[in-house]
């Protein structure tokens, strides 16, 4: 089942969050009517304030771990609600587990009731601290289920299992996107993830905090490219999972230097201890997205950082 977004009525959970708000913008631009659902635990009304007078967008303040009744038809339910940064899910471990388990169950039930397509925002964290590099979708991962990061990793792994159970048992069409590190405008300055943290520190003129020696790697994707990957997956006939992320790897030390350059300051680095279970490497194998979806990132890291820094300066 492919989804024609023009004229579709689409529900987005976590719609006032970083990714959810950008996805809402893209859906509206594609001609969809969007029901934006968020309990504002980590999302913010500021992210969707520009849509206040948009007739094709309606906001519902709701916690999706509780039953949600939406009048009328829905063509798709896109489940993006979840704390997503280590700062958030370490502070909100139970809420993170509940939105991955109960929230996913509720949204799958809603999709079943409305005979709608279901899309899950999964994560590269399902791979844990990977022993296979780069990570293909066939890799089962290396996750510590009882470590502090396990609340997010296992919530998303359970959510994937639940989505496929509904797909196999009830025939619900699903899409599972495994999202790698994404950055861009609307990330909170104290989000805890590397790019907004480095930008805030560089703009404040304080040392940039790098964990360990900074040799651990991540693969970054600008938010516009990530959202384009979501739309390509929605319009495809693929259940997934599909890796959506940047194929180029960078060390955290290099990233700190790139951010400092984008801000226009000299990089002064302060090394901190590595967090428990912090992955040493992280890079997606994007062969599936490239060959089956025709998708690949278009925005370079330098250009993405330039746009992001400009947004923070104007925010």
For the segment 25-63, what is each residue's pLDDT rounded down to a tens digit?
999 999 999 999 999 999 999 999 999 999 999 999 999
Q: How does pLDDT run across 190-236, given as a tens digit for each residue?
A: 888 999 999 999 999 999 999 999 999 999 999 999 999 999 999 99
Cα(156)–Cα(210) distance, integer angstroms:
27
152 is catalytic: yes
For the chain, the structural domain boundaries read: 9-183+222-245+281-298
For 37, residues 6+ apart whose C-beta sits below 8 A from its C-beta are 11, 12, 13, 14, 15, 59, 60, 62, 64, 68, 81
Q: Is 12 within 8 Å of 23 (Cβ atoms)?
A: yes
**Above 80 in pLDDT, residue 180?**
yes
**pTM, 2 dp:** 0.96
Cα(176)–Cα(123) distance, integer angstroms:
9
Among 78, 83, 124, 82, smallest CA distance to 221 is for 124
**Above 90 in pLDDT, residue 160?**
yes
Burial class (CB in 10 A: 0-12, 13-18, 19+), 261: middle
User: Band of the pLDDT at 291, cuts 50, 70, 90?
Assistant: very high
**Above 80 in pLDDT, residue 315?**
no
Indicate the SS3 state at residue 78.
Answer: strand
Buried-state track 140-179, b at ≥16 Cβ within 10 A, e below 16: ebebeeeeebbbbbbbbbbbbebbbebbeeeebbbbbbbb
Mean pLDDT, to the nearest integer, of 250-258? 95
From the candidates 152, 166, 183, 222, which is the catalytic residue?
152
Phi, psi values for residue 74, rounded to 5°: -135, 140
Cα(18)–Cα(187) distance, integer angstroms:
6
Cα(179)–Cα(240) distance, integer angstroms:
12
pLDDT for the residue numbered 2:
73
Q: How does pLDDT run across 18-33, given as a tens digit for each residue?
A: 999 999 999 999 999 9
Q: Is 268 within 8 Å of 145 (Cβ atoms)?
A: no
Q: How does pLDDT run across 86-143, given as a tens digit for each residue?
A: 889 899 999 999 999 999 999 999 999 999 999 999 999 999 999 999 999 999 999 9
Cα(9)–Cα(7) distance, integer angstroms:
7
**Above 90 in pLDDT, residue 155?**
yes
Q: Is 75 within 8 Å of 3 (Cβ atoms)?
A: yes
Average pLDDT, the chain: 96
Q: Is 13 within 8 Å of 38 (Cβ atoms)?
A: yes
Residue with tokens 């519902």: 60
CATH superfamily of 9-183+222-245+281-298: NAD(P)-binding Rossmann-like Domain (3.40.50.720)
């Amino acid at each position: 089942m492919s989804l024609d977004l023009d004229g579709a009525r689409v529900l987005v959970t976590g719609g006032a969050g970083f990714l959810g708000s950008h996805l809402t913008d893209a859906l509206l631009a594609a001609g969809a009517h969007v029901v934006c659902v968020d309990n504002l635990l980590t999302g913010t009304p500021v992210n969707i304030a520009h849509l206040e007078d948009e007739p094709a967008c309606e906001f519902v303040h709701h916690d999706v771990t509780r039953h949600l009744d939406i009048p009328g038809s829905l063509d798709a339910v896109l489940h993006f609600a979840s704390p997503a940064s280590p700062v958030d899910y370490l502070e909100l471990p139970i809420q993170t587990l509940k939105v991955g388990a109960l929230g996913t169950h509720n949204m799958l039930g809603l999709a079943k009731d409305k005979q709608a397509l279901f899309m899950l925002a999964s994560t590269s964290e399902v791979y844990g601290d990977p022993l296979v590099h780069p990570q293909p979708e066939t890799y089962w991962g290396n996750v510590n289920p009882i470590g502090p990061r396990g609340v997010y990793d296992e919530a998303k792994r359970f959510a994937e299992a639940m989505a496929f159970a509904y797909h196999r048992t009830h025939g619900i069409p699903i899409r599972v996107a495994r999202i790698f590190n994404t950055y861009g405008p609307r990330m909170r300055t104290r989000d805890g993830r590397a790019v907004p943290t480095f930008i805030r520190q560089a703009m404040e003129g304080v040392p940039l905090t790098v964990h360990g020696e900074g040799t651990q790697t991540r693969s970054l994707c600008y938010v516009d490219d990530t959202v384009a990957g979501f739309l390509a997956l929605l319009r495809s006939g693929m259940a997934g999972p599909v890796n959506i992320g940047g194929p180029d790897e960078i060390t955290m030390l290099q990233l700190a230097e790139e951010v400092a350059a984008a801000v226009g300051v000299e990089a002064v680095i302060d090394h901190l201890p590595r967090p428990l279970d912090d992955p040493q490497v992280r890079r997606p194998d994007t062969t599936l997205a490239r060959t089956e979806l025709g998708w690949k990132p278009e925005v370079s890291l330098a250009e993405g950082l330039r746009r992001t820094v400009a947004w923070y300066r104007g925010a």
